[in-house]
A and B are shown apart, each in its own frame.
Chain A
Amino acid sequence: MMRRQPVSAYWVLSIIGLAVLTPMAGLLAVGRLPGFEPGDLQFWSSSYIRRVLLFSFWQAFLSTLISLTLALLVARSIAKRGDFPLRNLLLRLFGLPLVVPSIVAVMGIISVYGSAGWFPVGRSLYGLNGILIAHVFFNLPLAVRLLLPVWQAIPEHYDQLAEQLRFTAWQRWIHIEWPTLRENIPGVALLVFMLCLTSFAVVLTLGGGPRSSTLEVAIYQSLRFDFDPTQAVVLALLQLMLCLLIAVIGLSLQKLPEVEISISVNSQAGAASNRLYHNSVILVTAAFIGMPLLAMIFDALRGPVIDVLSDNKLWLAATYTLLIGFAAAFCSVLAGWLLLRTSSVLANHGKIRQAKWLELVGSVVYVVPPLILGTGYFVLLSQHVVIADWVFPIVILINSMMGLPFVIKVLSPVMRKNQMRYDNLCNSLALHGWNKWRRVDWPLLRKPLGLAAALVSALAMGDLGVIALFGSADTTTLPLMLYQQLGAYRIPQAAVTALFLLLLCLLVFWSLERGLGGRKDVTH
């Protein structure tokens, strides 16, 4: 029996399409008004744009390559090592770099590798080195979080079989781990690539000069300093198209499993043989991620902790920040789930290409700069409403869209597997709707749902871009407050605010992963 395909994905896609394209159209319309002369075409042939394009993609490619290679090693060690002390804390810490506002991360990295830091690298830090260190700091932990479930999903009897066949580590990798990973790596790589491609303040500051400008800088420049909406939109579309192209190439390497037979799950993979090696990999990674975070904590503890914490405005800002984080996580997870409900059915019916496209389009909206979207919404709405009343819905909308690729990446493998394994069974048991959700989907999905929600909320809580754009007297978020402190020489205060934001995020991560995800792994 073949059930009707859920059409929800097309609704979600239409909404996303509208949410992305109408603000751009609005900006283009403004660009045609008198007084907004469209950019000189010379700009296009200029070596500047060519150089910026090349550099953007080159640094993003290198950052992705390094982050992912390292993440594979690290995730493997964490998976093989099984349980170890502070494992959960470590994995939760891995969610933090995502929330750290870029300027705070840069300061943390400087505290460690700067000329007065713990491990001074010297002037060579500024340039590609600095960019790569920062991007690996941001993305390695994310990639580990995304790849770890893949190892855990390698069936136990594969390991037993490998044991019996006396596979070497290399043979195991080739015959068991790589085929499983191949399905997931392109998606994770795309996500990391998009994050690095759109990185802006980090690239500019650690890049050492305008040689290290990304396309994002050019977009920012044309929309702000030159106030040339046409040029900004054209550059944003260029970024979107190029990213789409790369995604299509990348995802064509992805191989979705068409049959899935194994039901068991790997609960304990810890082969004791390589313990020392795995321990060292985990320790080195923990140190690499932990040191800049530790530096931030030291900076904060030297600051006026009591003063900052006793300020009511901080708590008000924290409330707004939490509100944005939770609301964006809810919207994003809901949209992602609806989209994937369709794509997993499609994939299950052999329409793999269609399924991939759905997920791809849902993901690449990430590279449309929030500055463009925000300004576009402003253009569309400001004639009709008091924009100050709309700051929250807009910020939440934009952040939910930015969170969508994370949701898709986390949920898609799980939802596809569930669809494959249980859909026919559920149909034959006449298990539908709420009952199916409660008995089948929820227990299997709650863990990835928790992770997805945690990631999106972290991303939204750390966001500065959109809220700073609208400007409003009484809605301050923690990142905005942090920047205001920095702008007013209050650097010690800002360090305390940064730590507060970090702890708040850790709390949210913990509560979402625990609350939604439950305590234990659910075995299939």
Chain B
Amino acid sequence: MNFSHKLLTGTMLALLFAFPALAEKPLLTIYTYDSFTSDWGPGPKVKQAFEKQCNCTLELVGLEDGVSLLNRLKLEGKNTRADIVLGIDTNLTAEARETGLFEAHTLSIPESSLPQSWTDQIFVPYDFGYFAFVYNRELLKTPPSSLKDLVENPDGPSILIQDPRTSTPGLGLLLWVKKVYGENSDKAWNKLSERIVTVSKGWSEAYGLFLKGEADMVLSYTTSPAYHIIAEKDERFAAARFTEGHYQQIEVAGLLKSSNHKELSKQFLQFMLSQDFQNIIPQTNWMYPAFMESASLPDGFSNLIDPSPSLLFEDSIIASKRKSWVNEWLEAMTR
């Protein structure tokens, strides 16, 4: 028997043993965004913790972002491999519901740490955050105290934002301005545009430019400084508290009607509400866990600004108005 024969037999034996072992365990497939599945995201820890208790294999498929998740679902329809979709935010839930692909979760949702009560029958929240302008305390001594202050002070700080056509925070700011200015949003944008250094495709570009010192403030999250405090021991960064409140983003998961593992899927959603899952969130996703008392949050989170009152549109309003609001933004910014 020569070497290649040995190799072949060896491989076949290995496969013989490997396959039944795989087949025994059910496979639960979750579509999510890739910063969730990356090494630095919650994915690897979530997988490990859930597999310990489910006797199953958890497969996390990472797509570009929440928007890609929804598009993928629309394309696949009932033929999707996914059992659960995790990572759609409140800007997209109405559209996601409209696809008719999701099933009611039927869980009894415990008291959440969200500022509002959660009544959605289909989607289950797992974390949330607030948009905010982040700045370097050493370089900007007196940050604006409100959105109006930021918009209307012609000598105000320069800012970096993201494009609402391509990025979630970008859309968040658009909605934030809409909440505060309503009908007069286009005038506000027109005023603000003078001090917008640039409008980037995604969060990474804008945040990178900010760290390079290209502007006084960058559109990000109230929790961004926690990363610098905890991971880099760097206390220089802070989010500016705006008195009108901060626009909120809630990230949710939903169970698909087409799933063949409904029980297992519900077990995962239940797990998502548990402290095992919730504890992973703050220092991997850098968001607020949806089910955790603020006292249990890690240290870097305790000194963050109080974003209240939280601002949020009904998801159905976003679904119906987004296009025209984005067009209004474009008009105002290119005038």
Binding site for B on A (CB under 8 A): 30, 35-36, 48, 51, 103, 106-107, 110-111, 114-117, 123, 126, 200-201, 204-211, 217, 220-221, 223-227, 311, 313, 375, 378-379, 382-383, 386, 388, 468-469, 471-473, 480-481, 483-491
A207 contact from B72, B193, B198, Cβ within 8 A: B198
A-B contacts, 30 listed (Cβ < 8 Å): A48-B330, A106-B205, A115-B214, A116-B212, A204-B166, A204-B199, A205-B201, A208-B197, A209-B193, A209-B196, A209-B198, A210-B165, A217-B163, A221-B166, A224-B68, A224-B71, A224-B166, A225-B165, A375-B75, A382-B76, A388-B61, A468-B34, A469-B68, A484-B40, A487-B38, A487-B202, A487-B204, A489-B228, A489-B231, A490-B40
Q: Is the CB of A205 within 8 A of B209?
A: yes
Q: Is the CB of B74 within 8 A of A485?
A: no
Residue in chain B with minimal CB distance to A495: B208
Q: Is the CB of A103 within 8 A of B212?
A: no
Q: Is the CB of B203 within 8 A of A210?
A: no
Q: A116-B214, A471-B63 are in contact. Are A383 and B79 (CB under 8 A)?
A: yes
Report how far A207 CA is from B334 CA in the complex, Å.
12
Residues of B within 8 A of A221 (CB): 165-166
Residues of A within 8 A of B214 (CB): 110, 114-116
- Return B269 CB to nearest CB of chain A, in Å: 20
Residue in chain A with minimal CB distance to B334: A211
Residues of A within 8 A of B75 (CB): 30, 375, 378-379, 382
Q: Is the CB of B67 within 8 A of A225?
A: yes
Interface string of B89-107 (1 = CB under 8 A from A): 0000000000100000000
Residues of B within 8 A of A116 (CB): 212-214
A217 contact from B74, B166, B193, B196, Cβ within 8 A: B166
- Judged by DSSP, the binding face of A is helix
9 smallest CB-CB distances across A and B, nearest first, come from A116-B213, A471-B63, A488-B40, A486-B204, A484-B38, A221-B165, A487-B35, A205-B200, A201-B201
B312 CB–A CB distance under 8 Å: no
Q: Is the CB of B213 within 8 A of A227?
A: no
B51 CB–A CB distance under 8 Å: no
- Return B327 CB to nearest CB of chain A, in Å: 7
Report how far A378 CA is from B63 CA in the complex, Å.
13
- Return B29 CB to nearest CB of chain A, in Å: 10
B242 CB–A CB distance under 8 Å: no
Report how far A226 CA is from B34 CA in the complex, Å.
21
Residues of A within 8 A of B60 (CB): 473
- Return A501 CB to nearest CB of chain B, in Å: 16
Besides A35-B99, A221-B165, A490-B40, 9 more A-B contacts (Cβ < 8 Å) are: A205-B201, A210-B199, A227-B70, A313-B39, A471-B61, A481-B38, A484-B41, A488-B41, A491-B211
Report how far A209 CA is from B334 CA in the complex, Å.
8
Q: Is the CB of B208 within 8 A of A107?
A: yes
- Return A49 CB to nearest CB of chain B, in Å: 11
Residues of B within 8 A of A205 (CB): 198, 200-201, 205, 209
Report how far A486 CA is from B127 CA in the complex, Å.
21
Count A/B pairs, Cβ under 8 Å: 155
Residue in chain B with minimal CB distance to A470: B63
B40 contact from A209, A210, A223, A485, Cβ within 8 A: A485
Report how far A96 CA is from B40 CA in the complex, Å.
28
Residues of A within 8 A of B166 (CB): 204, 217, 220-221, 224-225
Which of B158, B165, B329 has the largest number of chain A CB atoms within 10 A? B165
Q: Is the CB of B40 within 8 A of A468?
A: no
- Return A55 CB to nearest CB of chain B, in Å: 10
Q: Is the CB of B208 within 8 A of A486?
A: yes
Q: Is the CB of B286 within 8 A of A489?
A: yes
Residues of A within 8 A of B38 (CB): 481, 484-485, 487-488
Report how far A184 CA is from B16 CA in the complex, Å.
60
- Return A77 CB to nearest CB of chain B, in Å: 33
- Return A52 CB to nearest CB of chain B, in Å: 10
Report how far A209 CA is from B75 CA in the complex, Å.
31
- Return A373 CB to nearest CB of chain B, in Å: 14
Residue in chain A with minimal CB distance to B220: A489
B200 contact from A204, A226, A487, Cβ within 8 A: A204
Q: Is the CB of B204 within 8 A of A206?
A: no
Q: Is the CB of B74 within 8 A of A471?
A: no
Report how far A292 CA is from B38 CA in the complex, Å.
28
Q: A204-B200, A473-B60 are in contact. Are A382 and B99 (CB under 8 A)?
A: no
- Return B254 CB to nearest CB of chain A, in Å: 17
Residue in chain A with minimal CB distance to B35: A487
Report how far A491 CA is from B228 CA in the complex, Å.
11
Q: Is the CB of B212 within 8 A of A111?
A: yes
Residues of B within 8 A of A123 (CB): 158, 197
Report how far A483 CA is from B37 CA in the complex, Å.
13
Residue in chain A with minimal CB distance to B29: A473
Q: Is the CB of A471 within 8 A of B62?
A: yes
Interface string of B310-334 (1 = CB under 8 A from A): 0000000000001100110110011
B227 CB–A CB distance under 8 Å: yes
Residues of B within 8 A of A103 (CB): 204-205, 208
Q: Is the CB of A204 within 8 A of B71?
A: no
Q: A114-B213, A488-B41 are in contact. Are A206 and B198 (CB under 8 A)?
A: yes
Q: Is the CB of B334 within 8 A of A473?
A: no
Report how far A201 CA is from B198 CA in the complex, Å.
12
Report how far A484 CA is from B166 CA in the complex, Å.
17
B138 CB–A CB distance under 8 Å: no
Report how far A209 CA is from B231 CA in the complex, Å.
32
